[in-house]
Protein backbone atom coordinates (compact mmCIF):
# COMPACT_ATOMS: atom_id res chain seq x y z
CA UNK A 1 0.00 0.00 0.00
CA UNK A 2 1.35 3.46 -0.86
CA UNK A 3 1.65 6.23 1.72
CA UNK A 4 -0.15 8.94 -0.22
CA UNK A 5 -2.08 10.36 2.75
CA UNK A 6 0.96 10.29 5.02
CA UNK A 7 3.05 12.06 2.37
CA UNK A 8 0.39 14.78 2.02
CA UNK A 9 0.65 15.27 5.76
CA UNK A 10 4.46 15.52 5.76
CA UNK A 11 4.25 18.22 3.08
CA UNK A 12 1.65 20.13 5.11
CA UNK A 13 3.68 19.94 8.32
CA UNK A 14 6.83 21.02 6.48
CA UNK A 15 4.91 24.09 5.30
CA UNK A 16 3.68 24.73 8.85
CA UNK A 17 7.22 24.48 10.20
CA UNK A 18 8.38 27.19 7.78
CA UNK A 19 5.72 29.57 9.04
CA UNK A 20 6.66 28.63 12.61
CA UNK A 21 10.28 29.48 11.73
CA UNK A 22 9.23 32.98 10.65
CA UNK A 23 7.10 33.43 13.78
CA UNK A 24 9.99 32.29 16.02
CA UNK A 25 12.50 34.73 14.53
CA UNK A 26 9.97 37.59 14.50
CA UNK A 27 9.23 36.78 18.17
CA UNK A 28 12.92 36.76 19.06
CA UNK A 29 13.34 40.13 17.32
CA UNK A 30 10.37 41.53 19.25
CA UNK A 31 12.04 40.59 22.57
CA UNK A 32 15.65 41.41 21.68
CA UNK A 33 15.92 44.02 18.92
CA UNK A 34 12.64 45.71 18.01
CA UNK A 35 12.18 49.40 18.93
CA UNK A 36 9.17 50.01 21.22
CA UNK A 37 7.20 51.72 18.47
CA UNK A 38 7.00 48.51 16.48
CA UNK A 39 5.07 46.62 19.15
CA UNK A 40 1.48 46.98 17.91
CA UNK A 41 2.30 46.23 14.28
CA UNK A 42 4.49 43.25 15.23
CA UNK A 43 1.74 41.92 17.50
CA UNK A 44 -0.73 42.10 14.61
CA UNK A 45 1.72 40.41 12.23
CA UNK A 46 2.35 37.55 14.68
CA UNK A 47 -1.40 37.18 15.27
CA UNK A 48 -1.88 36.93 11.49
CA UNK A 49 0.76 34.19 11.34
CA UNK A 50 -0.96 32.34 14.21
CA UNK A 51 -4.27 32.43 12.34
CA UNK A 52 -2.63 31.30 9.10
CA UNK A 53 -0.98 28.31 10.79
CA UNK A 54 -4.26 27.49 12.52
CA UNK A 55 -6.12 27.58 9.19
CA UNK A 56 -3.61 25.26 7.51
CA UNK A 57 -3.56 22.79 10.40
CA UNK A 58 -7.33 22.62 10.93
CA UNK A 59 -8.28 22.29 7.25
CA UNK A 60 -10.80 19.40 7.06
CA UNK A 61 -8.57 17.78 4.45
CA UNK A 62 -5.85 17.36 7.11
CA UNK A 63 -8.33 15.48 9.30
CA UNK A 64 -9.17 13.16 6.40
CA UNK A 65 -5.51 12.50 5.64
CA UNK A 66 -4.86 11.71 9.31
CA UNK A 67 -7.72 9.23 9.36
CA UNK A 68 -6.62 7.53 6.13
CA UNK A 69 -2.88 7.55 6.94
CA UNK A 70 -3.59 5.36 9.95
CA UNK A 71 -4.53 2.57 7.51
CA UNK A 72 -1.29 2.89 5.51
CA UNK A 73 1.80 0.72 5.89
CA UNK A 74 3.98 2.99 8.06
CA UNK A 75 7.22 2.08 9.82
CA UNK A 76 7.84 2.81 13.52
CA UNK A 77 9.20 6.32 12.94
CA UNK A 78 6.34 7.24 10.61
CA UNK A 79 3.80 5.93 13.10
CA UNK A 80 5.38 8.03 15.85
CA UNK A 81 5.30 11.06 13.54
CA UNK A 82 1.64 10.39 12.71
CA UNK A 83 0.85 10.21 16.44
CA UNK A 84 2.46 13.64 16.93
CA UNK A 85 0.66 15.04 13.85
CA UNK A 86 -2.65 13.85 15.30
CA UNK A 87 -1.82 15.47 18.65
CA UNK A 88 -1.01 18.82 17.02
CA UNK A 89 -4.17 18.63 14.89
CA UNK A 90 -6.37 17.78 17.87
CA UNK A 91 -4.87 20.63 19.94
CA UNK A 92 -5.56 23.16 17.16
CA UNK A 93 -8.98 21.88 16.10
CA UNK A 94 -10.40 22.56 19.57
CA UNK A 95 -9.96 26.34 19.19
CA UNK A 96 -11.90 28.74 16.95
CA UNK A 97 -9.82 31.00 14.74
CA UNK A 98 -11.08 34.17 16.44
CA UNK A 99 -9.85 32.97 19.82
CA UNK A 100 -6.40 32.09 18.40
CA UNK A 101 -6.09 35.63 17.05
CA UNK A 102 -7.40 37.28 20.23
CA UNK A 103 -5.00 35.27 22.43
CA UNK A 104 -2.03 36.25 20.28
CA UNK A 105 -2.95 39.96 20.27
CA UNK A 106 -3.67 40.10 24.02
CA UNK A 107 -0.40 38.27 24.79
CA UNK A 108 1.70 40.63 22.65
CA UNK A 109 0.06 43.69 24.24
CA UNK A 110 0.50 42.41 27.80
CA UNK A 111 4.13 41.33 27.30
CA UNK A 112 5.16 44.60 25.65
CA UNK A 113 3.56 46.73 28.39
CA UNK A 114 5.10 44.49 31.10
CA UNK A 115 8.59 45.58 30.01
CA UNK A 116 7.99 49.11 31.33
CA UNK A 117 5.35 48.25 33.97
CA UNK A 118 7.60 45.85 35.84
CA UNK A 119 10.48 48.33 36.45
CA UNK A 120 7.82 50.89 37.49
CA UNK A 121 6.21 48.42 39.96
CA UNK A 122 2.91 49.20 38.17
CA UNK A 123 0.67 46.32 39.25
CA UNK A 124 -2.54 48.23 38.42
CA UNK A 125 -1.47 48.77 34.80
CA UNK A 126 -0.15 45.23 34.43
CA UNK A 127 -3.17 43.54 35.98
CA UNK A 128 -5.54 45.30 33.57
CA UNK A 129 -3.80 43.62 30.62
CA UNK A 130 -3.34 40.34 32.48
CA UNK A 131 -7.09 40.12 33.15
CA UNK A 132 -7.76 40.04 29.40
CA UNK A 133 -5.10 37.33 28.90
CA UNK A 134 -6.60 35.27 31.75
CA UNK A 135 -10.16 35.70 30.40
CA UNK A 136 -9.13 34.39 26.96
CA UNK A 137 -6.92 31.64 28.41
CA UNK A 138 -9.83 30.41 30.53
CA UNK A 139 -11.94 30.23 27.36
CA UNK A 140 -9.21 28.16 25.73
CA UNK A 141 -8.87 25.95 28.81
CA UNK A 142 -12.63 25.27 28.99
CA UNK A 143 -12.77 24.23 25.33
CA UNK A 144 -9.80 21.91 25.77
CA UNK A 145 -11.11 20.52 29.06
CA UNK A 146 -14.54 19.73 27.60
CA UNK A 147 -12.92 17.73 24.79
CA UNK A 148 -10.41 15.94 27.01
CA UNK A 149 -12.65 15.32 30.01
CA UNK A 150 -10.32 16.93 32.53
CA UNK A 151 -9.98 20.13 34.57
CA UNK A 152 -9.28 23.40 32.71
CA UNK A 153 -5.78 23.60 34.19
CA UNK A 154 -4.95 20.01 33.25
CA UNK A 155 -6.01 20.78 29.68
CA UNK A 156 -3.39 23.57 29.51
CA UNK A 157 -0.75 21.51 31.32
CA UNK A 158 -1.15 18.85 28.62
CA UNK A 159 -0.01 21.35 25.96
CA UNK A 160 3.38 21.73 27.62
CA UNK A 161 3.76 18.35 29.29
CA UNK A 162 1.69 15.69 27.49
CA UNK A 163 0.22 13.03 29.82
CA UNK A 164 1.05 14.99 32.99
CA UNK A 165 -1.81 15.82 35.36
CA UNK A 166 -2.19 18.11 38.37
CA UNK A 167 -2.98 15.00 40.47
CA UNK A 168 0.46 13.59 39.59
CA UNK A 169 2.07 17.00 40.17
CA UNK A 170 0.41 17.25 43.58
CA UNK A 171 1.91 13.87 44.40
CA UNK A 172 5.42 14.80 43.18
CA UNK A 173 5.39 18.31 44.63
CA UNK A 174 3.76 17.10 47.85
CA UNK A 175 6.73 14.80 48.33
CA UNK A 176 9.13 17.71 47.74
CA UNK A 177 7.20 19.84 50.24
CA UNK A 178 7.65 17.07 52.84
CA UNK A 179 11.47 17.32 52.83
CA UNK A 180 12.56 20.54 51.11
CA UNK A 181 11.84 23.08 53.92
CA UNK A 182 13.99 21.10 56.34
CA UNK A 183 16.79 20.58 53.81
CA UNK A 184 16.70 24.30 52.98
CA UNK A 185 16.89 25.23 56.67
CA UNK A 186 19.81 22.83 57.27
CA UNK A 187 21.73 24.09 54.23
CA UNK A 188 21.31 27.74 55.29
CA UNK A 189 22.40 26.93 58.87
CA UNK A 190 25.41 24.95 57.67
CA UNK A 191 26.53 27.75 55.35
CA UNK A 192 25.99 30.40 58.04
CA UNK A 193 29.15 29.03 59.66
CA UNK A 194 31.18 30.05 56.58
CA UNK A 195 32.32 33.59 55.96
CA UNK A 196 32.06 34.18 52.22
CA UNK A 197 33.48 37.09 50.25
CA UNK A 198 31.24 38.55 47.54
CA UNK A 199 32.77 39.39 44.14
CA UNK A 200 33.43 43.13 43.88
CA UNK A 201 32.41 44.88 40.66
CA UNK A 202 31.99 46.68 38.48
CA UNK A 203 32.25 43.98 35.83
CA UNK A 204 32.10 45.66 32.41
CA UNK A 205 29.27 44.30 30.27
CA UNK A 206 31.51 43.86 27.23
CA UNK A 207 33.76 41.55 29.28
CA UNK A 208 30.76 39.68 30.70
CA UNK A 209 29.53 39.10 27.16
CA UNK A 210 32.92 37.73 26.09
CA UNK A 211 32.98 35.42 29.11
CA UNK A 212 29.50 34.16 28.19
CA UNK A 213 30.56 33.51 24.60
CA UNK A 214 33.62 31.64 25.88
CA UNK A 215 31.37 29.47 28.10
CA UNK A 216 29.04 28.77 25.17
CA UNK A 217 32.00 27.66 23.06
CA UNK A 218 33.30 25.41 25.87
CA UNK A 219 29.83 23.86 26.16
CA UNK A 220 29.70 23.07 22.45
CA UNK A 221 27.29 25.75 21.17
CA UNK A 222 27.35 25.91 17.34
CA UNK A 223 27.80 29.59 16.45
CA UNK A 224 27.21 28.77 12.79
CA UNK A 225 23.62 28.06 13.82
CA UNK A 226 22.89 30.53 16.57
CA UNK A 227 23.78 33.71 18.48
CA UNK A 228 23.69 35.46 21.88
CA UNK A 229 21.78 38.70 22.52
CA UNK A 230 20.17 40.73 25.33
CA UNK A 231 16.52 40.77 26.45
CA UNK A 232 14.49 41.78 29.50
CA UNK A 233 14.01 38.10 30.40
CA UNK A 234 16.56 35.44 29.35
CA UNK A 235 15.22 32.89 26.87
CA UNK A 236 16.10 30.47 24.09
CA UNK A 237 14.17 30.87 20.84
CA UNK A 238 14.52 30.57 17.10
CA UNK A 239 14.68 27.18 15.39
CA UNK A 240 17.17 24.26 15.50
CA UNK A 241 19.04 25.63 12.47
CA UNK A 242 19.16 29.16 13.95
CA UNK A 243 18.98 29.14 17.76
CA UNK A 244 18.71 32.54 19.46
CA UNK A 245 19.59 32.78 23.15
CA UNK A 246 19.51 35.86 25.34
CA UNK A 247 20.66 36.97 28.77
CA UNK A 248 20.58 40.22 30.76
CA UNK A 249 23.56 41.99 32.33
CA UNK A 250 24.23 43.92 35.53
CA UNK A 251 27.63 45.61 35.90
CA UNK A 252 27.62 44.90 39.64
CA UNK A 253 26.65 41.23 39.36
CA UNK A 254 28.94 38.91 37.45
CA UNK A 255 27.50 35.44 37.83
CA UNK A 256 23.79 35.94 37.15
CA UNK A 257 24.29 36.68 33.45
CA UNK A 258 26.95 33.98 33.09
CA UNK A 259 24.82 31.20 34.54
CA UNK A 260 21.85 32.53 32.58
CA UNK A 261 23.92 31.92 29.46
CA UNK A 262 24.91 28.43 30.67
CA UNK A 263 21.23 27.64 31.31
CA UNK A 264 20.11 28.85 27.87
CA UNK A 265 23.04 27.01 26.25
CA UNK A 266 21.56 23.78 27.64
CA UNK A 267 18.31 24.58 25.82
CA UNK A 268 20.25 25.52 22.71
CA UNK A 269 22.36 22.33 22.58
CA UNK A 270 19.15 20.28 22.74
CA UNK A 271 17.64 22.30 19.87
CA UNK A 272 20.83 22.16 17.79
CA UNK A 273 20.99 18.37 18.16
CA UNK A 274 17.36 17.53 17.42
CA UNK A 275 17.06 15.11 14.47
CA UNK A 276 17.47 16.79 11.08
CA UNK A 277 16.53 13.64 9.18
CA UNK A 278 12.80 14.42 9.58
CA UNK A 279 12.71 18.04 8.34
CA UNK A 280 9.72 20.06 9.45
CA UNK A 281 8.01 17.08 11.09
CA UNK A 282 6.55 17.15 14.62
CA UNK A 283 8.57 14.05 15.53
CA UNK A 284 11.71 16.21 15.15
CA UNK A 285 10.55 18.71 17.80
CA UNK A 286 11.61 18.70 21.45
CA UNK A 287 9.66 16.15 23.49
CA UNK A 288 8.18 18.49 26.12
CA UNK A 289 8.91 21.59 28.15
CA UNK A 290 10.07 19.55 31.17
CA UNK A 291 12.55 17.63 29.00
CA UNK A 292 13.70 20.99 27.59
CA UNK A 293 14.14 22.35 31.12
CA UNK A 294 15.95 19.17 32.14
CA UNK A 295 18.60 20.00 29.54
CA UNK A 296 19.07 23.62 30.66
CA UNK A 297 19.18 22.58 34.33
CA UNK A 298 21.53 19.70 33.48
CA UNK A 299 23.92 22.35 32.09
CA UNK A 300 23.34 25.06 34.70
CA UNK A 301 22.97 23.05 37.90
CA UNK A 302 24.10 19.44 37.55
CA UNK A 303 27.18 20.38 35.49
CA UNK A 304 27.63 24.15 35.89
CA UNK A 305 27.46 24.35 39.70
CA UNK A 306 29.50 21.19 40.25
CA UNK A 307 32.88 21.61 41.96
CA UNK A 308 34.67 20.14 38.96
CA UNK A 309 33.12 22.65 36.52
CA UNK A 310 33.59 25.62 38.87
CA UNK A 311 37.29 24.76 39.24
CA UNK A 312 37.48 24.83 35.45
CA UNK A 313 35.65 28.17 35.27
CA UNK A 314 37.62 30.00 37.96
CA UNK A 315 40.82 30.67 35.92
CA UNK A 316 38.79 32.06 33.00
CA UNK A 317 37.13 34.57 35.34
CA UNK A 318 40.46 35.60 36.91
CA UNK A 319 42.00 35.99 33.45
CA UNK A 320 39.21 38.34 32.36
CA UNK A 321 38.48 40.30 35.55
CA UNK A 322 41.69 39.99 37.57
CA UNK A 323 42.32 38.24 40.88
CA UNK A 324 40.38 39.30 43.98
CA UNK A 325 39.69 37.49 47.28
CA UNK A 326 36.24 36.37 46.10
CA UNK A 327 37.88 34.41 43.26
CA UNK A 328 40.09 32.30 45.52
CA UNK A 329 39.13 28.71 44.68
CA UNK A 330 37.43 27.65 47.93
CA UNK A 331 35.46 30.91 48.19
CA UNK A 332 34.56 30.88 44.49
CA UNK A 333 33.08 27.37 44.70
CA UNK A 334 31.27 28.08 47.96
CA UNK A 335 29.88 31.37 46.60
CA UNK A 336 28.47 29.59 43.56
CA UNK A 337 26.93 26.87 45.71
CA UNK A 338 25.50 29.16 48.37
CA UNK A 339 21.92 28.68 49.43
CA UNK A 340 20.25 32.01 50.01
CA UNK A 341 16.47 32.36 49.67
CA UNK A 342 15.67 35.40 47.54
CA UNK A 343 12.87 37.04 45.61
CA UNK A 344 13.89 36.27 42.03
CA UNK A 345 13.26 32.83 40.54
CA UNK A 346 15.84 33.02 37.73
CA UNK A 347 18.59 33.93 40.26
CA UNK A 348 17.55 31.31 42.84
CA UNK A 349 19.86 28.57 44.08
CA UNK A 350 18.73 25.05 43.26
CA UNK A 351 17.60 24.27 46.82
CA UNK A 352 15.14 27.16 47.09
CA UNK A 353 14.20 27.07 43.38
CA UNK A 354 11.38 24.49 43.74
CA UNK A 355 9.66 26.82 46.22
CA UNK A 356 9.45 29.48 43.49
CA UNK A 357 7.97 26.95 41.07
CA UNK A 358 5.47 25.28 43.39
CA UNK A 359 4.01 28.59 44.56
CA UNK A 360 3.49 29.69 40.92
CA UNK A 361 1.95 26.33 40.06
CA UNK A 362 -0.52 26.54 42.95
CA UNK A 363 -1.51 30.12 42.03
CA UNK A 364 -1.90 29.54 38.28
CA UNK A 365 -3.90 26.35 38.76
CA UNK A 366 -6.34 28.12 41.09
CA UNK A 367 -6.53 31.06 38.65
CA UNK A 368 -7.32 28.95 35.57
CA UNK A 369 -9.76 26.72 37.43
CA UNK A 370 -11.64 29.87 38.57
CA UNK A 371 -10.94 29.53 42.30
CA UNK A 372 -9.20 32.93 42.47
CA UNK A 373 -9.04 36.09 40.34
CA UNK A 374 -6.14 38.23 39.11
CA UNK A 375 -6.67 40.71 41.97
CA UNK A 376 -6.02 37.91 44.47
CA UNK A 377 -2.54 37.13 43.12
CA UNK A 378 -0.37 39.65 45.07
CA UNK A 379 -1.67 38.65 48.52
CA UNK A 380 -1.44 34.93 47.72
CA UNK A 381 2.06 35.39 46.35
CA UNK A 382 3.16 37.22 49.50
CA UNK A 383 1.61 34.58 51.74
CA UNK A 384 3.35 31.70 49.90
CA UNK A 385 6.72 33.51 49.71
CA UNK A 386 6.53 34.12 53.45
CA UNK A 387 5.60 30.51 54.15
CA UNK A 388 8.29 29.00 51.91
CA UNK A 389 11.17 31.45 52.11
CA UNK A 390 10.38 33.82 54.97
CA UNK A 391 10.25 36.83 52.62
CA UNK A 392 7.61 39.53 52.20
CA UNK A 393 6.61 40.81 48.74
CA UNK A 394 3.86 43.11 50.01
CA UNK A 395 3.77 46.08 47.63
CA UNK A 396 6.89 44.75 45.89
CA UNK A 397 5.18 43.56 42.70
CA UNK A 398 8.30 44.03 40.58
CA UNK A 399 10.20 41.37 42.51
CA UNK A 400 7.06 39.39 43.31
CA UNK A 401 4.20 38.47 41.03
CA UNK A 402 5.37 40.64 38.09
CA UNK A 403 8.87 39.18 37.74
CA UNK A 404 8.14 36.48 35.13
CA UNK A 405 7.22 36.76 31.47
CA UNK A 406 5.25 33.49 31.24
CA UNK A 407 1.77 34.66 32.23
CA UNK A 408 1.92 37.74 29.98
CA UNK A 409 1.24 35.66 26.86
CA UNK A 410 -0.96 33.01 28.45
CA UNK A 411 1.77 30.45 29.22
CA UNK A 412 -0.22 28.93 32.09
CA UNK A 413 0.87 25.34 32.69
CA UNK A 414 4.55 25.97 31.93
CA UNK A 415 5.92 26.61 35.43
CA UNK A 416 5.77 22.98 36.68
CA UNK A 417 8.24 22.14 33.88
CA UNK A 418 11.08 23.76 35.84
CA UNK A 419 10.91 21.47 38.86
CA UNK A 420 9.97 18.45 36.76
CA UNK A 421 13.02 19.37 34.67
CA UNK A 422 15.22 19.51 37.78
CA UNK A 423 14.01 16.02 38.73
CA UNK A 424 14.70 14.66 35.23
CA UNK A 425 18.12 16.39 35.18
CA UNK A 426 19.17 14.77 38.48
CA UNK A 427 18.03 11.35 37.26
CA UNK A 428 19.81 11.79 33.91
CA UNK A 429 23.06 12.93 35.52
CA UNK A 430 22.94 9.95 37.87
CA UNK A 431 22.51 7.63 34.87
CA UNK A 432 25.31 9.38 32.95
CA UNK A 433 27.66 9.05 35.93
CA UNK A 434 26.84 5.33 36.11
CA UNK A 435 27.42 4.90 32.37
CA UNK A 436 30.60 7.00 32.19
CA UNK A 437 33.29 6.00 34.72
CA UNK A 438 35.72 8.88 35.25
CA UNK A 439 33.08 11.51 34.39
CA UNK A 440 34.08 13.84 37.26
CA UNK A 441 37.74 13.72 36.21
CA UNK A 442 36.79 14.45 32.59
CA UNK A 443 34.70 17.48 33.65
CA UNK A 444 37.58 18.76 35.80
CA UNK A 445 39.85 18.45 32.75
CA UNK A 446 37.35 20.39 30.62
CA UNK A 447 36.47 17.36 28.50
CA UNK A 448 32.68 17.19 28.13
CA UNK A 449 32.67 15.15 24.93
CA UNK A 450 31.57 11.84 26.46
CA UNK A 451 28.86 13.54 28.53
CA UNK A 452 27.42 15.40 25.55
CA UNK A 453 27.57 12.28 23.39
CA UNK A 454 25.63 10.44 26.10
CA UNK A 455 22.97 13.17 26.03
CA UNK A 456 22.88 13.09 22.23
CA UNK A 457 22.42 9.32 22.16
CA UNK A 458 19.85 9.17 24.96
CA UNK A 459 17.84 12.40 24.68
CA UNK A 460 18.69 14.82 21.88
CA UNK A 461 18.55 12.63 18.78
CA UNK A 462 15.11 11.20 19.58
CA UNK A 463 13.07 14.42 19.36
CA UNK A 464 9.45 13.44 20.00
CA UNK A 465 9.76 9.85 18.82
CA UNK A 466 8.96 8.50 22.30
CA UNK A 467 6.63 9.67 25.06
CA UNK A 468 8.33 11.51 27.93
CA UNK A 469 7.93 8.48 30.19
CA UNK A 470 9.43 6.14 27.59
CA UNK A 471 12.31 8.52 26.79
CA UNK A 472 13.32 8.74 30.46
CA UNK A 473 12.92 5.00 31.01
CA UNK A 474 15.07 4.29 27.92
CA UNK A 475 17.76 6.73 29.08
CA UNK A 476 17.91 5.83 32.77
CA UNK A 477 16.40 2.35 33.08
CA UNK A 478 13.42 3.50 35.18
CA UNK A 479 10.48 5.96 35.14
CA UNK A 480 10.70 9.39 36.77
CA UNK A 481 12.11 8.92 40.27
CA UNK A 482 12.12 12.19 42.24
CA UNK A 483 14.39 10.69 44.88
CA UNK A 484 17.44 11.32 42.67
CA UNK A 485 16.73 15.06 43.00
CA UNK A 486 16.62 14.79 46.79
CA UNK A 487 19.83 12.72 46.83
CA UNK A 488 21.58 15.28 44.62
CA UNK A 489 20.64 18.25 46.82
CA UNK A 490 21.54 16.38 50.01
CA UNK A 491 24.93 15.32 48.64
CA UNK A 492 25.86 18.76 47.35
CA UNK A 493 24.54 20.95 50.17
CA UNK A 494 24.56 18.84 53.33
Environment class of residue 478 by beta-carbon count within 10 Å: exposed (0-12), middle (13-18) or buried (19+)? Answer: exposed
Pick from 80, 69, 58: nearest CA to 5 = 69
Establish whether 430 is an annotated binding residue. no
DSSP H helices, 273-368, are 289-297, 307-321, 329-336, 353-368
Catalytic residue among 84, 140, 161, 264: 264
DSSP H helices, 410-465, are 416-435, 439-444, 449-458
Between CA 269 and CA 491, with CA 261 as vertex, the angle to 5 degrees is 85
How far apart CA 169 and CA 172 sit, in angstroms, is 5
Residue 264 bears catalytic tag = yes
How far apart CA 148 and CA 158 sit, in angstroms, is 10
Environment class of residue 72 by beta-carbon count within 10 Å: exposed (0-12), middle (13-18) or buried (19+)? Answer: middle
Establish whether 292 is an annotated binding residue. no
Establish whether 356 is an annotated binding residue. no
Phi-psi region of 324 (alpha: psi -120 to 50; beta: other; left: phi over 0): beta
- Secondary structure of the chain: what % helix, strand, coil (to 5)? 70, 5, 30
Do residues 262 and 304 lie in contact, with contact meaning Cβ atoms separated by under 8 Å? yes
Pick from 130, 109, 132: nearest CA to 40 = 109
Binding-site members are 263, 267, 293
Active site members: 264
Annotated binding-site positions for Zn(2+): 263, 267, 293
Amino acid sequence: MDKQNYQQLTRTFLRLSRFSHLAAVAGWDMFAMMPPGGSAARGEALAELSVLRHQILTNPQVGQWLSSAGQEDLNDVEQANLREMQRHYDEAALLPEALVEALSLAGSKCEHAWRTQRPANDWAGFSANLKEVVKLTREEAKLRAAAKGCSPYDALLDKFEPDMTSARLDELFGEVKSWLPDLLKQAVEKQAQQTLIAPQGPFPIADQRELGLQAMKTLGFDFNGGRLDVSAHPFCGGVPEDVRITTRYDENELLSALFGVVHETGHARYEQNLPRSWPGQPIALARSTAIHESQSLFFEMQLGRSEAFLRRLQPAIIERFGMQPAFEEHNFIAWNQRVKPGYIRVDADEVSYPAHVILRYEIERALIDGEIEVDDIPALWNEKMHSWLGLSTEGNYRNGCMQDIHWTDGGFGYFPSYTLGAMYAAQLFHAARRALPGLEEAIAAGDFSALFEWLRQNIWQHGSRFSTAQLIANATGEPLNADYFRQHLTRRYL
